[in-house]
Each structure stands twice: as C-alpha cells, then as structure tokens.
C-alpha cells in the first residue's frame, strides 16, 4: 500500500497525466479543422474527376427567313459534353451555349451543312449528333385561306341535323415555299365527334393545309387551331296554317274565322317533315252566338313539334238577316244604276238618230233646189 502511494505521489505520474490531458485538449480543439481538411480533399478530388453528359438542345438556323422558307432540319439535336464534373453539371443546368447551322450564304436548293457550337467552356470536350444536316431552301410565300370545317355527319343521331359552324377565326395565314403554297387547295379544321350526337359540338380543332388529293402540305399556319362550334338540332320546316270551321252554329248567324298567325315552324325528323306541306286548324263554332276568341292547339303527329304550339283564333259572328238586307239593297242599287245607264244610252242614241235625220233632210232639200 505504501508502495502504491509512493507511485502516485511520484512527479513522473503527474507528468504523464498532464501530457495525456494536453493531447486530448489538442484533439478536441482541432477536430473541426481536421474534418474540414478531409472534406476539402474529397471535394477537390470530385472537382478534378471527369464526367460526361448528353444534352438535347434547340437547333438555331442562321438564314434570311423573310426571303426563304427552310425545311428538313431537326428542331433539336444532341450534344455530348465531357470535362470536369462541376463544369459539366453547371453547363447542363444553365445551357448557356447554342448549336447553329449557318445558311446565310446559301441560296435556293438542297444543302448539307455542318453544325457548330458557340459558348461552351474551352475545358469541355463535345460531340454533336448529328454533326451535319441536309436542308431544303425555297423562296418564301404567304397566302390567306378561308377555314373549312369537316366532321363526320354520320355520327349525328337519327333524326338530327347540323347547322352552320361558328369559328373563332374564319381565315388562316399560311406560309411556306412558293411551290407548296400554290399546291394548297383548302385549309380545314377537323372536328372529332362521338356517335349519336344530339347536342351542339364545341371543340378546339387543329388546322391542316391540304392539296386537291387531301394530302397534308408542309407549311406553317397561323393560327394553328381554332375554336369550332357546330349546332346540332332536329330539322325544322315552316308551313302555312289554314283555318277550318267545324260544328253547327246558330242558324241565323254567319261565322268568319281570322288569326294573326299565318305560319308555324315544325320540328321533327326529316321524313316526317317531308310529308307536311300545310297544317289545318279545326275551329268549332258550336254554341258560339257572339264574336269570341278561342285558343286552339296546333295538331301534330309522328313526334313533330310546332312553334307556336297554340294559336288564338277570332270567331266573328254576325246576323244573317242584316247581311241579306245589305245584299238586297246592294242589288237594288246596282239595278237602278244599270237602268239609268241604259236610259242614258237610249237617249244618246235617239239624239244621234234625230241629228242624222235632220242632216239627211237638209241634204235632200239642197239637192231639190
């Protein structure tokens, strides 16, 4: 026990303990610096490592597009870039470079040109796919065309028909090569429809430029689509309305029918409407002894509807005797007038006869002398 105490009371022990505490304190204070150094080393290794990546970017065309219409080139091309990892990642994220085809010194015809890049960092290697493209350069032309609407009328439900389409824009401006524009026969908006249509169609329809054979012409259209509304309804037909008096009225009364409605519009299947040329409205005068107005339902059949569905008819009632007296008075007046006219004619004839006799007598007398 005394030996153990002597060991711990020895100056050497205190020195060893002090050294241990000093090492621990040094490690605690510098651990963050050690970790930072390790991370920096790892980061430096990452930045120095090479990386490759393939990007898809738009192709820019350098040409006089106001004068020429150019076809045959892809909208986008691929580029494979390779270099320091951080630089490749930054380039992929920003895409602050462009790939171009320079056609400025080329004229009408087909040409093969090499693609080039502009803006890539010099530390990056790259490969463009495809490296060359073939383009067709033609004289540019522009023309305005009316828009025609096409849809399958067989999809209309039985008994229904379609009205005139309504478009958000009635014409389209088409731009292309001079030859292609000359080949355009029509610009159409194709409307896709379902079967058994019974209600209006409203749709955003894409436009197409077609030649006489119905083939699509390679051209640019403005707008590229239009809003189309096609009315779908049952067929209609306007027919005249005739009034027919039915029933037995008063014996001493005369009846006359009148209405402000002279035509009605019928709605139904085309086959049913084709059978109707006029509508007869029966109006009963039974038990009617004075002028009155009746509301009569327009008769229909075979699913046909009428507009208006009811018509107001005025039944005008008058006394038969009054009409007879009026007619007799009219006849008497006519007879008297006719008699007076005859008498006047007779007198005129008599005067002419007397004048003629006097003339003859005078002539005879003259001859005798």
Q: What is the rounded CA–CA span in Å between residue 340 and residue 346?
A: 10
Question: Are 227 and 150 found together in one domain?
Answer: yes
**Residues 144, 223 within the same domain:** yes
The answer as to whether 17 is a domain residue is no
Mark whether 116 and 58 lie in a shared domain.
yes
Residue 16 in domain: no
The verdict on residue 97 lying in a domain is yes
Nearest to 151 by CA among 217, 184, 195, 183: 195
Q: Given a cut of 70, is residue 193 above it in pLDDT?
A: yes
> How would residue 181 be classed by pLDDT, with cut points 50, 70 and 90?
very high
Q: Which domain holds residue 259?
A: 236-320
Q: Specify the pLDDT at position 323.
A: 47
Backbone angles phi, psi at 352, to 5 degrees: -65, -35
**Which ranges constitute the DSSP H helices of 49-124?**
85-94
Look up the pTM and report it: 0.56
Kindly report, residue by residue over 52-76, the tens digit of the pLDDT: 999 999 999 999 999 999 999 999 9
Average pLDDT score over residue span 284-309: 90
Where are the alpha helices (H) located in the chain, listed in sequence order?
A: 2-8, 11-48, 85-94, 178-183, 270-274, 320-368
pLDDT tens track for 90-124: 999 999 999 999 999 999 999 999 999 999 999 99
Judged on CB neighbours under 10 Å (0-12, 13-18, 19+), 205 is: buried
pLDDT band at 32 (very low <50, low <70, confident <90, very high): low
Distances (CA, A) of 206 to 173, 187, 190, 217: 14, 10, 7, 14
Q: From residue 47, how far is each of 5, 89, 125 by CA, in Å?
A: 60, 11, 16
Same domain, 119 and 153: no
Average pLDDT, the chain: 82
Q: Kindly state whether residues 108 and 164 are assigned to the same domain.
A: no
Is position 356 within any domain? no
pLDDT confidence of 43, banded at 50, 70, 90? Answer: low
Instruction: Read off the CATH number of the domain in which 89 is found.
Output: 2.170.120.30
Of 85, 108, 130, which one is at a domain's C-terminal end? 130
- State the total domains in the chain: 3
């Amino acid at each position: 026990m005394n030996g153990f105490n002597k060991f711990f009371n020895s100056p050497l022990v205190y020195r060893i303990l002090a050294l241990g505490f000093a090492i621990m304190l040094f490690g605690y204070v510098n651990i963050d610096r050690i970790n930072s150094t390790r991370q920096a080393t790892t980061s430096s290794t990452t930045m120095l490592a090479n990386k490759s990546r393939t990007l898809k970017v738009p192709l820019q065309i350098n040409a006089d597009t106001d004068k020429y219409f150019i076809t045959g080139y892809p909208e986008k091309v691929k580029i494979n870039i390779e270099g320091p990892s951080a630089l490749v990642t930054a380039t992929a994220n920003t895409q602050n470079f462009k790939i171009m085809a320079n056609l400025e010194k080329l004229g009408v015809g087909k040409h093969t040109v090499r693609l080039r890049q502009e803006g890539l960092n010099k530390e990056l290697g790259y490969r463009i796919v495809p490296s060359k493209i073939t383009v067709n350069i033609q004289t540019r032309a522009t023309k305005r065309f009316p828009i025609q609407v096409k849809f399958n009328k067989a999809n209309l439900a039985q008994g229904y028909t379609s009205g005139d389409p309504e478009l958000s824009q009635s014409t389209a401006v088409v731009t292309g090569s001079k030859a292609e524009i000359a080949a355009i026969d029509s610009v159409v908006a194709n409307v896709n429809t379902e079967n058994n249509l019974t209600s209006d169609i409203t749709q955003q329809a894409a436009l197409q430029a077609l030649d006489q054979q119905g083939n699509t012409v390679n051209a640019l259209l403005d707008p590229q689509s239009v809003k189309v509304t096609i009315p779908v309804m049952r067929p209609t037909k306007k027919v005249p309305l005739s009034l027919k008096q039915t029933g037995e009225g008063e014996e001493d009364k005369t009846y006359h029918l009148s209405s402000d409605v002279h035509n009605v519009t019928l709605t139904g299947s085309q086959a049913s409407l084709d059978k109707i040329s006029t509508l007869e409205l029966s109006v009963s005068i039974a038990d009617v002894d004075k002028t009155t107005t009746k509301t009569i339902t327009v008769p229909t059949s075979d699913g046909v509807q009428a507009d208006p569905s009811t018509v107001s008819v005025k039944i005008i009632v008058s006394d038969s005797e009054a009409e007879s007296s009026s007619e007799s008075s009219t006849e008497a007046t006519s007879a008297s007038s006719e008699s007076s006219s005859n008498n006047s004619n007779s007198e005129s004839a008599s005067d002419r006869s007397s004048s003629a006799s006097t003339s003859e007598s005078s002539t005879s007398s003259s001859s005798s002398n």
